[in-house]
Amino acid sequence: MNVGMSVFTRPNEPVFNVPSVLIVLIAVMAVIQVGREYFLTADQDLDLLVRFAFIPARFDPAFLRSGGFPGGLGAQIWTWVTYSFLHGDWMHLGVNCIWLLPFGAAVARRLGNARFLLLFAVTAAGGALAHLVTHLGQIYPMIGASGAVSGMMAAAMRFAFQRGGPLESWRRPDPRSYTVAAEPLMQALRNPRVLIFIAVWFVLNLIFGIGSKIVPGSEADIAWQAHVGGFLVGLLLFPLFDPVLPRHDGETSDAA
């Protein structure tokens, strides 16, 4: 049964090749950063941020009654995702890309281009929602792909750590490892490797989030709540995007 094999362009394609959809996504972020740094004036860049960054105050009734922010209703819709394409500097972009490459590549190989992009957008929106709830009325913009990257990490965790998954085939790459049916969430949470990954992820995010507030010289807070929001969305909603038929308890998985 060739469940999920349609997500591959070629069945024997080396799994360490970066999926083209991920290359395009990162290239778009890089082009935007180049444009902001080398082609826009400071005023133009500020206008871009106001229109495309995620600003909690944009949804504050007090601001809406006074005319709101540039972009109007449209910005209230698109900024749930567009903020993830903007970054503070090249270091910010580079760190996000370093984490996005391995986890995003794994998810893209399994889901295919369309599902991958949709999940990226949904996890970005989940990160924005968590930031909105914890920063009601804040006027400072949030930018960066960290929420979506966290969502990719959680989504990859749903299938990468289990028996026959990509983590077990990294020495001898096997595309079929990306078509192993994912375990139900409660069963996956009994996997010690999954629990360790989640624990380490949450601890590191809390450390970096708190550290950004107390370390002298820090120029901006780390929106760790957005990371958590994106992670939870990727963890919980992954089955809605997964093209591989789910495995039921007691069944064996055969993706070949």
Q: Which residue has the higher pLDDT, 147 or 250?
A: 147
Confidence of residue 3 (pLDDT cuts 50, 70, 90): very low
Domains (range + CATH), the chain:
5-241 (1.20.1540.10)
Reported as a pLDDT band with limits 50, 70 and 90, residue 197 is very high
Asked if 165 and 194 count as a contact pair (C-beta separation under 8 A), the reply is no
Three-class SS of residue 65?
helix
Structure confidence at residue 253 (pLDDT): 42
pTM for this prediction = 0.84
Q: How many CA atoms lie within 13 A of 191 on its CB side?
A: 18
Least confident of 127-131, 180-184, 204-208, 224-228: 204-208
Q: Using the predicted structure, report yes or no on whether residue 214 has a pLDDT greater than 50.
A: no
In the chain, which ranges are E strands?
Answer: none
Measure CA 122 to chain center: 8
Instruction: Give the per-residue pLDDT at 220.
Output: 58
Task: Please give the radius of gyration of the chain, using alpha carbons only, rounded to the nearest integer.
Answer: 19
Tens of pLDDT, residue by residue over 223-249, are: 889 999 999 999 999 999 999 877 654
Q: How many CB atoms lie within 10 A of CB 193?
A: 13
Question: How high does pLDDT run on average in the chain?
Answer: 84
Residue type, 139: I
